A and B are shown apart, each in its own frame.
Chain A
Amino acid sequence: QVQLVQSGAEVKKPGASVKISCKTSEYLFVKSFLHWVRQAPGQGLEWMGIINPINPSGRTTVYAQKFQGRVSMTSDTSTNTVYMEMDNLRSEDTAVYYCARSYSTYDKFDYWGQGTLVTVSS
């Protein structure tokens, strides 16, 4: 069974950083591209970017313009885990953050993690 397992909920103060993890199997890690999508309370889905887990600094790692410079996606091949770090958090960043998998770059998202709630509050 395909699984993307995300880290637990976080509570952060404005201006802080958060780092969320998404762990998968070795097979999927090398056969996937992973995306980060967020969903503010009661709102829709917002794509943040895509990472190639086995070549995270390559051309196939792309950030949505809105998040460039504030979000960093990385991977750890030893643990089959990808990470999304967001700096300078604001209250508007309060959301559930999902990782999602696609087989290739321009492909549908066939599996999703369970989501990680990030709450930004003073």
Chain B
Amino acid sequence: NAGVTQTPKFRVLKTGQSMTLLCAQDMNHEYMYWYRQDPGMGLRLIHYSVGEGTTAKGEVPDGYNVSRLKKQNFLLGLESAAPSQTSVYFCASSGDRGQPQHFGDGTRLSIL
């Protein structure tokens, strides 16, 4: 019963490097989300998807790109990492808008 799986769990990057975070869900959910969590800020939505092949910007999209080529996967890319992107990133999925979202365990990303 995997639910939402995020890889990698930890990563350290140097400024300017690029990387991709992978989110996979096995619940056949249409909606998927990427959040970042910073101390005292709660969770802020980066990008989201309402179905395979679709993506949309959230509250803090700058510096990130996403793709949803397959229904079960949602990728988050950092084109040129900056120290301000040091954060914990969470992926979530839901069967419908407004339904509870199921979260992965997060990716802890440090950018030096």
Q: Do A and B belong to a common assembly?
A: no
Binding site for A on B (CB under 8 A): none
Binding site for B on A (CB under 8 A): none
